[in-house]
């Protein structure tokens, strides 16, 4: 019998995680079964228990359950604690909750795109689950400036406060953005609505990288705007998606898959 894993979400049929983990397992000649599980909006906890009863060894958690997963798990990693959200569950005698989104983003930016984060001016757009998942990992790389902007500024302030023990995050409203940044990360849900966040064209410094967590067949509205505004490079979130999956695979199976061929496959 092969080891069972799952991605739990609602909706979940779009998830590329089964394909990604099948590729990882193939690299090591291992057999795993990785399934999509649609949980009812009010039935996340029951869905997790049912998966454990089936003998699953772990699960990824996607929208809209990352906060609920955080509340469900007794043993949280420091990263998950800081994010207030869990995207990876490991089942053994108990249940471990981790958040691999931030490390996935940082590995994509530094290792795959070859862009340093240390000592750079970094601006994160958005203050939802995705933004919370990445701020801790960005802070660990010691950027010169770490700034956060959100339409609902108070929400951004709460997120900054939750990180105050590890990093100072400068909080802005969109109309107050005036200075340049080297790395601008779109962690809003704007691309899903085929919109772009209302950033001014002047925020892109010489050589800037504009990164959209969203991934799609064509460049997102934010990527198009950044390119026109003079960003030297633009990237979507496919690399992050594969890197966060690789970290989950490592947590479950103690082996680090090669990510480059899987990123190429998804493109």
Whether 66 sits among the annotated catalytic residues: the reply is yes
Check if the beta carbon of residue 33 is closer than 8 Å to that of residue 3. Answer: yes
| Comparison of 188 and 259: residue with beta carbon closer to ligand NDP | 188
Smallest gap, in angstroms, from Cβ of residue 204 to ligand NDP? Answer: 17
d(CA 207, CA 182): 7
Collapsing DSSP to helix, strand or coil, 7 comes out as strand
Smallest gap, in angstroms, from Cβ of residue 29 to ligand NDP? Answer: 27
| Comparison of 47 and 100: residue with beta carbon closer to ligand NDP | 100
Smallest gap, in angstroms, from Cβ of residue 125 to ligand NDP? Answer: 7
Q: Which residues bind ligand NDP (CB under 6 A)?
A: 63, 101, 126-131, 150-152, 155, 187-193, 195, 197, 213-215, 237, 240-241, 244
User: Looking at 66, 81, 90, 155, which residue is catalytic?
Assistant: 66
Smallest gap, in angstroms, from Cβ of residue 1 to ligand NDP? Answer: 30
∠ CA 163-160-7 to the nearest 5 degrees? 70
| Comparison of 32 and 235: residue with beta carbon closer to ligand NDP | 235
Residue 18: what are its φ and ψ, rounded to 5°?
-60, -40
Return the bridge partners of 76, or none: 97
Retrieve residue 120's tokens.
């750079």
| Comparison of 15 and 47: residue with beta carbon closer to ligand NDP | 15
Residue nearest ligand NDP by beta-carbon distance: 128
∠ CA 6-11-12 to the nearest 5 degrees? 30
The DSSP H or E segment spanning 71 is: helix 66-72
d(CA 240, CA 32): 22
- Nearest alpha carbon to residue 215 among 237, 185, 196: 237
| Comparison of 119 and 154: residue with beta carbon closer to ligand NDP | 154
Smallest gap, in angstroms, from Cβ of residue 221 to ligand NDP? Answer: 9
Check if the beta carbon of residue 184 is closer than 8 Å to that of residue 161. Answer: no
Catalytic residue numbers, as ranges? 66
């Amino acid at each position: 019998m092969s080891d069972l894993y799952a991605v739990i979400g609602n909706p979940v049929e779009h998830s590329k995680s089964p394909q990604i983990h099948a590729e990882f397992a193939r690299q090591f000649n291992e057999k795993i079964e990785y399934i999509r599980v649609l949980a009812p909006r009010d039935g996340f906890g029951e869905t997790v228990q049912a998966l454990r009863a089936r003998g699953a060894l772990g699960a990824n958690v996607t929208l809209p359950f990352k906060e609920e997963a955080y509340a469900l798990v007794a043993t949280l990693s420091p990263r998950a604690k800081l994010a207030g959200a869990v995207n990876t569950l490991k089942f053994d005698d108990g249940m471990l909750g981790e958040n691999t989104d931030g490390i996935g983003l940082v590995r994509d930016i530094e290792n795959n795109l070859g862009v340093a984060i240390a000592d750079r001016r970094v601006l994160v757009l958005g203050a939802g689950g995705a933004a919370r998942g990445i701020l801790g990992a960005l802070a660990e790389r010691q950027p010169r400036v770490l700034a956060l902007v959100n339409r609902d500024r108070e929400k951004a302030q709460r997120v900054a406060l939750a990180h105050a023990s590890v990093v100072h995050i400068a909080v802005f409203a969109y109309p107050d953005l005036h200075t340049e940044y080297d790395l601008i990360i779109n962690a809003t849900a704007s691309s899903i609505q085929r919109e772009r966040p209302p950033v001014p064209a002047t925020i892109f410094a010489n050589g800037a990288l504009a990164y959209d967590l969203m991934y799609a067949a064509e460049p997102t509205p934010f990527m198009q705007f950044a390119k026109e505004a003079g960003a030297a490079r633009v990237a979507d979130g496919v690399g992050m998606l594969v890197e966060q999956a690789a970290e989950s695979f490592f947590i479950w199976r103690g082996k680090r898959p090669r990510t480059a061929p899987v990123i190429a496959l998804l493109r």
